[in-house]
Amino acid sequence: MWQELRTELHPRGLEVVTVALDVDPEAARPFVEAAHAEHPSLLDHAHLVDERFGVVNVPNGVWIDEDGTIVRPAEPAFPGKNPVLDQINSIDITTLPPDAAEMLTEARKIKTDPEGYRAMLVDWVEHGAASEYALSPDEVVRRAQPRRDAEARAAAHFELGEHLHRMGDHPAAIPHWREAHRLFPANWTYKRQAWEFEDPMRQGHTDAYNGSWFEDVKKIGAENYYPPIVP
């Protein structure tokens, strides 16, 4: 998804690094192979970027300048287009069963600004620290996700669950992932990753977890699923 913009902006000094938050690397591999990316494509099976950079949903982008200073913390990031939403909008809802139609109707309220985000990124690549979108260190920290005891504890539970899952005991992972969801409900990567194992693609309600994608989105309103980008 980012290769096209990378081709345009790499000669002007920007490198793209994609990080797949997939406990199962084989789930992500076909996308990586299809992308034919020239930029680094990394695998983060333990969702380390959540605890290190404050990522809470995907796609999320972090801007880092030439000196290794973050100038924009994790926020929704789209390269001039949002193919998922485009696809959702292209479906004729009248042909769907009622539950699927209800879910898609809600999903269409998701707000993103791919063109605006792309323009901000191009502006930063062009003007560097002088770009109005490059934030001060204090503002970067202030805008980063909260990290109190609950969020830190959620990260530990998610990691423990991921470890047990990879050891081959998936049922042992579930209580830890449930606890991560309870402690840090605003982290969608912990939830979506866990729901996906129980109900692939749909992430519907199962006995394993209290929530589901649709239930949790409805609670906050799909229009709040991605926070608005504050320039």
Query: What is the Cα 155 distance to its own chain's centre?
Result: 15
Minimum CB distance to another protein, residue 175 (Å): 9
Interface region with another protein, contact rule CB under 8 A, candidates 53-61, 93-101, 214-222, 223-231:
53-61
Per CB under 8 A, does 1 bind another protein?
A: yes
With CB under 8 A as the contact rule, the residue among 4, 7, 38, 40 that binds another protein is 40
Using the rule CB under 8 A, which residue among 144, 186, 208, 229 binds another protein? 144
Any residues with CB less than 8 A from the CB of 88 and at least 6 apart, and which?
104, 107, 108
Q: By CB under 8 A, what part of segment 146-185 binds another protein? A: 146-149, 151-157, 159-160, 163-164, 167, 169, 172, 176, 179
What are the backbone angles phi and psi of residue 16, rounded to the nearest 5°? -105, 135
Query: Which phi and psi angles does 41 have, rounded to 5°?
Result: -120, 110
- Of 6-35, which residues contact another protein (CB under 8 A)? 13-22, 25, 27-29, 31-32
Q: How far is residue 45's CA from residue 124's CA, in Å, rounded to a whole number?
A: 30
Applying CB under 8 A, does 82 fall inside the site for another protein? no
The closest of 217, 220, 230, 228 to 112, measured between CA atoms, is 228
| Piece of 94-102, 108-116, 144-152, 219-227 that binds another protein (CB under 8 A) | 144-152
Element (H, E) at 42: strand 41-43
Closest approach, Cβ 18 to another protein, in A, equals: 5
Which residues are within 8 A (CB) of 109 and not within 5 positions of it... i.e. 6 or more apart? 221, 222, 223
Cβ proximity to another protein, 42 vs 230, nearer residue: 42
Number of neighbours of residue 8 by Cβ within 10 angstroms: 15
Question: Counting contacts by CB under 8 A, is residue 69 touching another protein?
Answer: yes
> Exactly one of 11, 34, 36, 67 binds another protein (CB under 8 A); which one?
67
Q: Tell me if 3 contacts another protein by CB under 8 A.
A: no
Q: d(Cα 137, Cα 105) in Å, to the nearest integer?
A: 39
Number of residues that bind another protein (CB under 8 A): 85
